[in-house]
Structure 1
């Protein structure tokens, strides 16, 4: 009888403990963005975060920790409590930084993917005075004039830099890189004619193209951009192995409980499949990823990390 009472008592404690465990989430969630407020990454994060909070029933507060290509933000999240209340809104830089920097303040797998949520196409654009009207014509002329073409980027290792380095790697080009502190400065240098071309996000380059200040040659994604529907893809322009984007991914500290990760994953899928979210992203040229899972996202990051490692090694690219 005593043994039965003890077992019943233990069962009651276990049941009480399970009931006492608060359901996730029971307070606001912090989403850390590694780039400045007002940029394309920040804008997408706020669109996603706003809907994600509504689905989860708690506010998602975007916090900007800009600097060092996103490593400051990644480090902050990696060292946060693994409870699902601190998220990283990561970008392509996460995969690039793994090879770009010899040492990082965090282990490469200190943060783990939950879902890829969006992809921002980039556009290869030139100063209107450049004779080339297609990406193939530009590449052919670069090959005829080695070392005479220069392009701008938002800094060494940035997605804009690596998009051109990928083309350089595949086509064996001799071109000059001019890194700037931000994409806007690089774009202005192309517009002024100091540089010949740039690969920039369609979200920021689009208005300059529509104003006739930049001439678009091709977009970098596998499908055409909703904001530049008449501009062909690089594949359509004759580069079958070329495809890249500035992707956005939600990540969490390693060790975050599996049920929390699964709940976040399901909520993010619901977020990007929401008609209003898809419409808002489409207006700025951002493509939602509608079928990502933690497993798919992990495999994607692994493939991206290896791809950029090959490009960085071949180009002997060093950080600023």
Structure 2
């Protein structure tokens, strides 16, 4: 009899758990963003959250936890209940931070589970108009002839836009001076004023400055051209076959989140980024929707990105405490 009661109890528990997962979500979901409201990451997160909420039948509320290159937001999500109600809108910084920081308050490899990559944000290599180079090839060749002459700005040490230049420096054995700022807007202004010669920044941020003539675009960093800068060649077209990078956005959940919940979220996210209105809103600001990213694909992608940036960071001896 005791064994029968135990079996009945276990069966009821399994039934209750399955019902709870099937009913997911039954209240609002948090989407935590590691950067300030109004920035490119926040804008994309809100586009995704709006459609995701409609598909899930519950509001998806964006919550900004800015600071420390996204690590504050990541820590919040990593330590949240693994129930699918707290999601991280992760970025390239997640893969970079795994090596960049000596110590993190969470396990950068195992604390979170990827759900789907939802967007890629091309970056553009842009110079002050006074710089003579009109192509990426001309710029790189002049840097090689004049080691230490060129400086570039970034949104901060270890930021994705900083690492985009470090990748080029690593591959082409360049000698450059890095000038970090507190944000992308300050870094761009430093290029416009001529304090530094160039920057690699998100197309969504830099495009207005390029279109107004305050910056000169040389190349975009992705394999295909940007929809908002269609006349600007890619780095591969400029002759750098191995150079490709972008800012990316990935939804992640705490380790231990039930598989049915992850699968439901992934399916909803894939549907969301295929929506014509979502695609149009993303492409209008130069963001490329990623439409076929399953949890397995997303996991392999972030692993590859972590390995790649670890190689660059170690070679450049970059670290943050």
Normalised-by-shorter TM-score class: over 0.9
Q: Deviations over 1:139-174 (max 9, x none)?
A: 000000000000000011101100000000000000
Q: Deviations over 1:32-91 (max 9, x none)?
A: 000000000000000000000000000000000000000000000000000000000000
Hey, what's the Cα distance between the residues in 1 that align with 2:51 and 2:300? 26
Hey, what's the Cα distance between the residues in 2 that align with 1:8 and 1:146? 74
Q: In the alignment, does 2:139 pair up with 1:103?
A: no
Q: 1:129 to 1:280 in 2, by over 3 A?
A: same
Residue 163 of structure 1 is matched in structure 2 by 164
Hey, what's the Cα distance between the residues in 1 that align with 2:116 and 2:79? 20
Q: 1:75 to 1:19 in 2, by over 3 A?
A: closer
Q: 1:11 to 1:66 in 2, by over 3 A?
A: closer
Q: 1:133 to 1:20 in 2, by over 3 A?
A: closer
* Coordinate RMSD, CA, aligned: 1.9
Q: In the alignment, does 2:32 pair up with 1:32?
A: yes
Measured after TM superposition, the shift of residue 112 of structure 1 is 1.1
| Secondary structure, counterpart of 2:63 in structure 1 | strand
Measured after TM superposition, the shift of residue 318 of structure 1 is 2.2
> Number of residues paired by the alignment?
318
Measured after TM superposition, the shift of residue 21 of structure 1 is 3.3
Hey, what's the Cα distance between the residues in 2 that align with 1:173 and 1:8? 67
Q: 1:78 to 1:146 in 2, by over 3 A?
A: same
TM-score (norm 2): 0.95
Hey, what's the Cα distance between the residues in 2 that align with 1:301 and 1:228? 27
Q: 1:12 to 1:318 in 2, by over 3 A?
A: closer
Residue 20 of structure 2 is matched in structure 1 by 21
Q: Deviations over 1:214-249 (max 9, x none)?
A: 000000000000000000000000100000000000
Q: Deviations over 1:250-305 (max 9, x none)?
A: 00000000000000000000000111100000000000001000000000000000
Matches within 5 A, 1:123-142: 123-142=124-143
| Secondary structure, counterpart of 2:237 in structure 1 | coil
TM-score (norm 1): 0.95
Matches within 5 A, 1:59-78: 59-78=59-78
Residue 179 of structure 1 is matched in structure 2 by 180
8 Å contact from structure 2 (residues 52, 60) kept in 1: yes
Q: 1:261 to 1:128 in 2, by over 3 A?
A: same
Q: 1:10 to 1:272 in 2, by over 3 A?
A: same
Measured after TM superposition, the shift of residue 107 of structure 1 is 0.8
Residue 50 of structure 2 is matched in structure 1 by 50
| Secondary structure, counterpart of 1:212 in structure 2 | coil
Q: Any gaps of 5 or more consecutive residues in structure 1?
A: none
Hey, what's the Cα distance between the residues in 1 that align with 2:291 and 2:193? 39
Q: 1:140 to 1:60 in 2, by over 3 A?
A: same
Residue 144 of structure 2 is matched in structure 1 by 143
Residue 286 of structure 2 is matched in structure 1 by 285
Measured after TM superposition, the shift of residue 14 of structure 1 is 6.3
Hey, what's the Cα distance between the residues in 1 that align with 2:315 and 2:201? 22
8 Å contact from structure 2 (residues 119, 290) kept in 1: yes
| Secondary structure, counterpart of 1:21 in structure 2 | helix
Runs of 4+ in structure 1 off by over 4 angstroms are 5-16
Hey, what's the Cα distance between the residues in 1 that align with 2:199 and 2:6? 71
Deviates more, 1:119-128 or 1:11-20: 11-20
Measured after TM superposition, the shift of residue 120 of structure 1 is 0.3
8 Å contact from structure 2 (residues 102, 319) kept in 1: no
Q: Deviations over 1:179-208 (max 9, x none)?
A: 000010010000001110000100010000
Hey, what's the Cα distance between the residues in 2 that align with 1:67 and 1:52? 25
